[in-house]
Amino acid sequence: MKDILTAPFVEEMKRTTANMYRLGWDERNGGNISMLLDTEEVAQYLDVDAVIRTIPLGFDAYPLADRIFIVTGTGKYFKNVEFDPENNLGIVRISSNGLDAHLLWGFSDGGRFTSEFPAHLMSHIARLDVDPENRVIMHCHPTHTLAMNYVHELDERKFTHTLWEMCTECIVVFPDGIGVLPWMLCGTNSIGESTACKMREFRLVVWGMHGIYGAGRNMDEAFVLIETVEKAAQIYMLTAHLPRINTIKDNELAELAEFFGVNYRKDFLDL
Ligand code: 13P
Ligand code: ZN
């Protein structure tokens, strides 16, 4: 058996959480990440049938039965993951009936997965339905995106449109736009269901006055989606109070999307 601390998926969680912390997206215990793993790869590092503890999920995740995830712990700080992965991360296998998570490694102080695991797993189910290659769900509190939530209408067409105007590349990076939810109580099945519903249509979902969710086929894809939104939101916040003299016009946004061959939300433009 290989040493789990050398596994690429543990390394990737360490690197990504440290990076997100330093970008200021994950203060204190803010944010969480889950990544669907390949069972055969995990089996090189762990006995996938050796269960340390069983933790009820609180909802039915049957479509993910027997699938294995690496996930950040609830109340754990992203800044600490790289120094103590075994305490701050966990590897869990969803039980065959979909109702529990079997802990295979991690959460060594008796902790458990993020309180947003329902939102993550429901989003995994939704994304896998529309993209069987989706692997990562990422949540964080990026500063400028959050600031924008307080001064911009929380309407997904308007929110997406404003961000598309802020950087030339935005419409190419997230042509599918951004889903937007109103403020809701976090850590609940209800916000999980609403997030998953949006995830059928979007890879990015804003949680009003809380943060953002990103989905991707790998860690980089989820990360760069959020990174691009955050950059655009920063430009919006740097300019929103100033007279706008120039803007990228809707016909130019369409020209960009068509030149780069992306399938964009035409109904989010006024053409
Ligand atoms: P957890 O510590 O449970 O992951 O919660 C952090 C968070 O961002 C809640 O939305
Ligand atoms: Zn949060």
CA of 206, nearest ligand number: 2
pLDDT band with cut points at 50, 70 and 90 for residue 93: very high
Q: Is the CB of 29 under 6 A from ligand 1?
A: yes
Q: Given the CA of residue 210, which atom of ligand 1 is nearest to it?
A: 10
Q: Is the CB of 30 under 6 A from ligand 1?
A: yes
- 18 CB neighbour count, 10 Å cutoff: 17
Q: Residue 98's pLDDT is what?
A: 98
Q: Residue 177's pLDDT is what?
A: 98
Tokens 């997230």 correspond to 174
Q: Is the CB of 31 under 6 A from ligand 1?
A: yes
Q: Is the CB of 188 under 6 A from ligand 1?
A: no
Residue 40 known to be catalytic? no
List, for residues 131-188, the tens digit of each pLDDT value.
Answer: 999 999 999 999 999 999 999 999 999 999 999 999 999 999 999 999 999 999 999 9
Q: Residue 232's pLDDT is what?
A: 98
Integer CA distances (angstroms), 83 to 46, 134, 189, 266, in order: 21, 28, 31, 46
Reported residue count of the chain is 271
Q: Who's near 144: CB < 8 A, 6+ residues apart? A: 230, 233, 234, 236, 237
Pairwise CA distance, residues 24 & 220, whole Å: 18
Integer CA distances (angstroms), 135 to 31, 50, 67, 197, 260, in order: 17, 23, 11, 17, 25
List, for residues 2-54, the tens digit of each pLDDT value.
Answer: 999 999 999 999 999 999 999 999 999 999 999 999 999 999 999 999 999 99
CA of 73, nearest ligand number: 1
Q: Is the CB of 26 under 6 A from ligand 1?
A: no
Q: Given the CA of residue 139, which atom of ligand 1 is nearest to it?
A: 8
Probe target for ligand 1 pocket from 117, 186, 212, 226, with the most ligand atoms within 8 Å of CB: 186
CA end-to-end distance (rounded Å), the chain: 59
Q: Residue 35's pLDDT is what?
A: 99
Q: Residue 63's pLDDT is what?
A: 98
Q: Residue 46's pLDDT is what?
A: 98
Pull the structure tokens for residue 160. Answer: 């997406």
Q: Given the CA of residue 73, which atom of ligand 1 is nearest to it?
A: 4
List, for residues 52-84, the tens digit of each pLDDT value.
Answer: 999 999 999 999 999 999 999 999 999 999 999
Probe target for ligand 1 pocket from 27, 29, 80, with the most ligand atoms within 8 Å of CB: 29
Domains of the chain from N-terminus onward: 1-115 (3.40.225.10), 116-271 (3.40.225.10)
List, for residues 214-246, the tens digit of each pLDDT value.
Answer: 999 999 999 999 999 999 999 999 999 999 999
The active-site residue out of 12, 27, 116, 230 is: 116
User: Would you give the distance in Å from CA 239 to the centre of its chain?
Assistant: 27
